[in-house]
Structure 1
Amino acid sequence: MVGSRLSFSLCLVLNLSVTAFSSLEFSRYDFPTDFIFGAGTSAYQVEGAAFQDGRTPSTWYTFAHAGHAHGATGDIACDEYHKYKEDVKLMVETGLDAYRFSISWSRLIPNGRGPVNPKGLEYYNNLINELIKHGIEPHVTLFHVDLPQVLEDEYEGWLSRRIVKDFTEFADVCFREFGDRVLHWTTLNEGNVFVLAGYDMGFIPPQRCSPPFGLTFCAKGNSSSEPYIAGHHLLLAHASAARLYKKKYQDKQHGFIGINIFGYWFAPLTNTTEDIIATQRAKDFYLGWFLDPLVSGDYPEIVKKNAGARIPAFTKNECKQVKGSFDFIGINHYLAIHIKDNPEKLKTDQRNFAADVGVDMISTLGPPGQYPVMPWGLQGVLEYFKQVYGNPPIYIHENGQQMKRNTTLNDTARVEYIQAYMGGLLDAIRNGSNARGYFIWSFLDVLEIIEGYESSYGLYYVDLDDPDLKRYPKLSAHWYSGFLKGKNITPDEANDITKNKMALSNARSIQ
């Protein structure tokens, strides 16, 4: 298996160097007729109303209130809790097929388990009904970093197997209350990055790490073992919720359930055998760590070998439960990374995930504060999933360009990025990828987990200085809207539209 993956990876690198940027001129009609286009947000990043109607703190709330997002919090955020009708109207004007959002566990079930909060239930029913009424598909994520703080305090959240039962009961409430209208469920958002950033490097909630590995100060944690333990429980919780859905709800509700991972793409820095083998090792750790259990029932052999006793083992029954426990895979993808072999890391006595992988990760720099435009990376991920994991149905759940937050509305770099990646996606589909949908991150300028409101990904600017938090379309919103309505407009044409909009009095007020 390893040998076939290695030879495939080398061929893929060579092929992608030829096909990159081949589909820069296209329209939505070039995509399959049932292909879904949308945009996304998540609960704590967009809802606000942090103290309202029975919601309790989440780990993300605690993290933000400790000052870790440039002093910003989601207490108000974009206030979608009160402005959801206005936002759905914008989605209709933009032409979205679907909206991806998450449900705040601590808003729906404030104690983490037990009684359902009627006000939280009402809000999500209202949002879902408003989307359905306007022909927009709700794509719902159950967990997006924001564990109820009460469960973190009680038993350290994802480090305890108790989380499997509590997460499954939370999922059960969501399936029961919303599943008659929600047909696309994602259990967990980018579990691989969540556990590495939260339990190894410690720079996102629940901010656990240990010296010398953490990128920040952590009051507690163990970087050597906790990422593997938390990742194991994420997989078990996903499998438990998926099994419940398939057994109890799927036949009646006719929906689909999947899981989301951060879809890194790795390419060897050089064509040396060492870098090629190291690149495959990186893929096995960052992708195979989650995907191999989901597809084959167990972790990759190299992961088990290098992590040793620090990674939990699946029982035979757990292998059966995890294997095949998805109808689709969600991918968040932003850039590709080059890999250089570093055997010294494999020899160190101080072990964490990065030491187990034994590579140096070298990112290509884009303009300051922006990602480089590398659509061949997305093509690589999709081709790898096709060849190695049986070409499962895939939704690109996040893809977008980070930029410094400002009021100019002229985000040409974002348009160029999105256009290039959508072209790469189209090439992958024409080459047989089973991709079913594409969601831009993000619909609005939301609270980002590290940068707060200093950076933005949104199609729409939110004026935080306006008591009404007025939304303004950026150039990217006009370009995406034109694309979704079947027009093949260029970034320059979209820019002209934006300039005309900016000339209006309401847009001038924020310049």
Structure 2
Amino acid sequence: MARDRPLFSLFLVLNFMVTAFSTLKFSRDDFPPDFIFGSGTSAYQVEGAAFQDGRTPSIWDTFTHAGNVHGDTGDIACDEYHKYKEDVKLMVDTGLDAYRFSISWSRIIPDGRGPVNPKGLAYYNNLINELINHGIQPHVTLFHIDLPQVLEDEYGGWVSRRIVRDFTEYADVCFGEFGDRVLYWTTVNEGNVIALGGYDSGIIPPQRCSPPFGLNLCTKGNSSTEPYIVGHHILLAHASVVRLYKKKYQAKQQGFVGINVFAYWLVPLTNMTEDIVATEIAQRFFLGWFVDALVFGDYPDIVKKRAGTRIPAFTKQESKQVKGSFDFIGINHYNTLSIKNNPEKLKMDHRDFNADVGVDTIFMQGDSLPQQLPPRAWALQAVLEYFKQFYGNPPIYIHENGQQTPHNASLDDLGRVKYLQEYIGSVLDAVRNGSNARGYFTWSFLDVLELLDGFRSSYGLYYVDLDDPDLKRYPKLSAYWYSGFLKGRNITPDGAIDSKKNKIALSSDQYIQ
């Protein structure tokens, strides 16, 4: 059974993390030899070819075509569908161990279930083979928000329990077609964000919410119940897929299956007891909601108490199936939030998930963070320590971590270089302290279509010139730094600048003055 941690536990972990900090003097050789470094994208954000070779629309297509991201769409995106060989060459030049990408469900199975699209299979087979032929591990995510629109229209997608069977059948196709070469599978990306962003606030596909919650963008939904229902179905679908893999494929393919969650780090706004307690409760909701179920087989007690009948209950059989249904847990980490207790939210007659938490959240700025560590980077180490102390130190892959900047042609992203150096150093500190972290992936390899900002902002190591009909890629300073780090040199920002000046490690024809 799930259990709630001592209320001061998170604060104690935070204090530990503040006293342990990286000198930023490290190299790749300081990591375990089997530690994986990579970078990632997702299907809708990078592939393009949205209406080619049998692919049908997903809920993400519908979302962008409604004008929700400044008029930007993934119709063309970075056109990796046609340029994958060029992109794999850049990955080789950069020195990646692995590339994390997702499969478009509606490219593989255009009707959501039933007949498989041969051209969709061919694309992913070609991409996987190209990666492997160049010594790069494919790390594949089955679902990255882009549910086939036909399933959303037919029965509401993740709102319906029918999704469990359809998702399992889709996974069965992927395991059968690609599992002889793919060893690392993630079922769902950011399951907690899908449930909250898609069904409570309505800020991401499929944009379901209800008054007084959300941003008045939704035409249907129920913010009070659907986030909990969707989270429940995601966990059941994930467990079903893992059960399928272990029964039918794992003995032969020798692969690993996990799930990904978004992991804020949370800290009390003040040293007042009520804020410290509220911070731990918030962690129970934002992270424990999913991870407690995966590790202990049930939701945290405080979540069940506050959500009441609005959160589905696991049967004994479901609890048994969900508990331990992972070979690893993937985490995406970008932000630190400070937490202020707000008990007034709990007095609302009609509550959503965020009201159930009973707090106000504030994004922390760099100058308000502990000065013993580089701004924000300590928080990733704190997240890893939290998993170690409270969840039995499961294998962890940091699937996404990166810095948001405006999308422009400036390739001198020194801030991103410092960001990566600080965060990777923080991961090293966590590993040295016993964390079971197994890999780190930057987000993102290219400047891709971002979910909320479209092409206005970017996280990429490589700039994509959207005004060029060929969508030419150019390495940023961060690509030089990361390449130098992966190849055992240039671990300082100055070293990255020197590499760029001398065009070291990356193809010279990709560099612009």
Same fold (TM over 0.5): yes
SS of 1:257 mapped into structure 2: strand
Tell me how far 1:506 sits from its aligned partner. Answer: 6.7
- Distance change (3 Å), C-alpha of 1:341 and 1:126: same
Structure 1 CA distance, aligned partners of 2:104 and 2:366?
34
Aligned residues of 2:4 and 2:284 also touching (Cα < 8 A): no
What is the rounded CA distance, in whole Å, between the counterparts of 2:381 and 2:502 in structure 1? 35
1:238-253 residue pairs with structure 2 within 5 A?
A: 238-253=238-253
- Among 466, 470, 483, which residue is 1:464 paired with? 466
Read off the aligned partner of 1:390 and give its amino acid letter. Answer: G
Asked whether the 8 Å contact 1:267–1:279 carries over to 2, the reply is yes
Q: Secondary structure at the match of 1:261?
A: strand
Q: Paired residue for 1:437?
A: 439
Is 2:235 the counterpart of 1:235?
yes
Q: Which residue of 1 aligns with 2:371?
A: none
Is the 2:108–2:121 Cα contact (8 Å) retained in structure 1? yes
- Give the equivalent residue in structure 2 for 1:410: 412
1:376 maps onto 2:378 in alignment: yes
> Is contact 2:168–2:241 with CA below 8 Å preserved after alignment?
yes
Residues 1:174 and 1:233: Cα distance change in structure 2 (over 3 Å): same
1:156-195 pair list within 5 angstroms: 156-195=156-195
Q: Does 1:276 align with 2:276?
A: yes
Distance, in Å, in 1 between the alignment partners of 2:346 and 2:426 is: 35
Deviation sequence 1:312-359 (CA, Å, 0-9, x none):
111111001100100000000012111111111111112001110001
CA distance in 2, matches of 1:465, 1:9: 47
SS in 1 for 2:166: helix
Q: Tell me how far 1:499 sits from its aligned partner.
A: 4.6
What CA distance in whole angstroms lies between the structure 2 residues aligned with 1:405 and 1:329?
31
Match of 2:13 in 1: 12
Paired residues for 1:294-443 under 5 Å: 294-365=294-365, 373-443=375-445
* Other-structure match for 1:110: 110
C-alpha distance in 1 between matches for 2:74 and 2:25: 39
SS in structure 2 of the partner of residue 101 of structure 1: strand
C-alpha separation in 2, matches of 1:10 and 1:73: 42
Code of the aligned partner of 1:446: V
Letter in 1 for 2:409: T
Distance 2:165 2:261 in 1: 22
1:265 Cα deviation after fit: 1.0
Give the letter for the 2:161 counterpart. Answer: R
Q: Which amino acid aligns with 2:358?
A: G
Q: 1:36 to 1:507 in 2, by over 3 A?
A: closer
Residue aligned with 2:113, SS: coil
Query: 1:443: how far off?
Result: 0.2
Q: Aligned equivalents of 2:288 and 2:238: distance in 1?
A: 16
Taking the aligned partners of 1:418 and 1:82, their CA distance within structure 2 comes to 29
Answer yes or no: is the 8 Å Cα contact 1:203–1:216 preserved in 2: no
Match of 1:92 in 2: 92
- Per-residue CA deviations over 1:92-117 (Å, capped at 9, x if unaligned) read 00000000000000000000000110
* Structure 2 contact 4–301 (Cα < 8 Å) conserved: no
The answer on whether the counterparts of 2:8 and 2:276 sit within 8 Å (CA) in structure 1 is no
- Name the SS of the counterpart of 2:6 in structure 1: helix
Q: CA deviation at 1:396?
A: 0.1
Query: Kindly tell me: are residues 505 and 312 of structure 1, through their superposed partners in 2, closer, same or farther at Cα, counting changes over 3 Å?
Result: closer
| One-letter amino acid of the counterpart of residue 405, structure 1 | H
Match of 2:416, SS?
helix
- Does the CA contact (< 8 Å) of 2:110 and 2:148 recur in 1? yes
Q: What is the rounded CA distance, in whole Å, between the counterparts of 2:341 and 2:281 in structure 1?
A: 9
Structure 1: segments with no counterpart, 5+ residues? none
Residue of structure 1 in register with 2:370 after alignment: none
- List per-residue Cα deviations over 1:186-226 (Å, max 9, x = no partner): 00000001110110000100000111111242011111001
Q: CA 1:303–1:51 in structure 2 vs 1: closer, same or farther (change >3 Å)?
A: same
Give the whole-Å Cα distance in 1 for the aligned partners of 2:78 and 2:250.
33
State how far apart, in whole Å, the 1-side matches of 2:198 and 2:478 are: 32
Given that residues 4 and 300 in structure 2 are in contact (C-alpha distance below 8 angstroms), is that contact kept between their aligned partners in structure 1? no
Contact 2:26-2:491 within 8 A present in 1 as well: no
Secondary structure at 1:164 match in 2: helix
Question: 1:414-444, CA deviations, whole angstroms, 9 ceiling, x for partnerless residues?
Answer: 1111110111110000000000000000000
Which range moved further: 376-385 or 436-445?
376-385
The 8 Å contact of residues 335 and 373 in structure 1, kept in 2 or not, is answered as no
Greater Cα offset, 10-19 or 123-132: 10-19
Q: Distance in 2 between matches of 1:418 and 1:52?
A: 36
- 1:342-388 superposed Cα distances (whole Å, 9 cap, x missing partner): 11111111200111000111111359xxxx93111111111110111
Please give the alpha-carbon distance, in whole angstroms, between the structure 1 residues aligned to 2:355 and 2:148.
31
Deviations 1:220-273 (A, max 9, x none): 111100100010000000000000001100000000000000011111112221
336-345 or 249-258: which moved more? 336-345
User: Aligned equivalents of 1:48 and 1:250: distance in 2?
Assistant: 32
**Structure 2: how far apart are the matches of 1:426 and 1:113?**
43
**For residues 91 and 340 of structure 1, what CA distance do their matches in structure 2 show?**
43
Q: CA 1:3–1:251 in structure 2 vs 1: closer, same or farther (change >3 Å)?
A: closer
Q: Does the CA contact (< 8 Å) of 1:225 and 1:352 recur in 2?
A: yes
Residue-pair matches, total: 504
Q: Distance in 1 between matches of 2:181 and 2:58?
A: 26
**2:27 equivalent to 1:66:** no
Which moved further from structure 2: 204-213 or 7-16? 7-16
- Whether the 8 Å CA contact 2:190–2:262 is kept in 1: the answer is yes
In structure 2, what is the Cα distance between the partners aligned to 1:13 and 1:471? 40
SS at the partner of 2:7?
Answer: helix
1-side partners of 2:380 and 2:330: how far apart?
A: 13
CA deviation profile, 1:60-106 (whole Å, cap 9, x unmatched): 01101111111100000000001000000000000000000000000
Question: Residue 9 of structure 1: CA displacement?
Answer: 1.5
Counterpart Cα distance in 2 of 1:35 and 1:173: 29
Give the 5 Å matches for 1:464-483.
464-483=466-485
Aligned to 1:6, what secondary structure does the other structure show?
Answer: coil
Shift of 1:3: 6.9
Counterpart in 2 of 1:263? 263
**For residues 216 and 57 of structure 1, what CA distance do their matches in structure 2 show?**
24
Q: 2:220 aligns to what SS in structure 1? A: coil
Q: Percent identity?
A: 74
TM-superposed deviation, 1:4: 4.5
Match of 1:211 in 2: 211
Q: After superposition, what is the alpha-carbon deviation per residue over 1:424-479, rounded to whole angstroms, capped at 9, x for unaligned?
A: 11000000000000000000000001100000000000111111111000000000
Runs of 4+ aligned residues of structure 1 deviating over 6 Å after TM superposition are none
Counterpart CA distance in 2 for 1:440 and 1:13 is: 24
Change in 2 beyond 3 A, CA 1:126/1:505: closer
Letter of the 2:492 counterpart: T
> 8 Å contact 1:25–1:488 — kept in the other structure?
no
Encode CA deviations 1:380-425: one digit per residue, 9 max, x unaligned.
1111101111100000000000000110101111111111011111
Aligned equivalents of 2:510, 2:421: Cα separation in 1: 28
Contact 1:410 1:498 in 2 (8 A): no
Query: Which runs of 5 or more residues in structure 2 are unaligned?
Result: 368-373
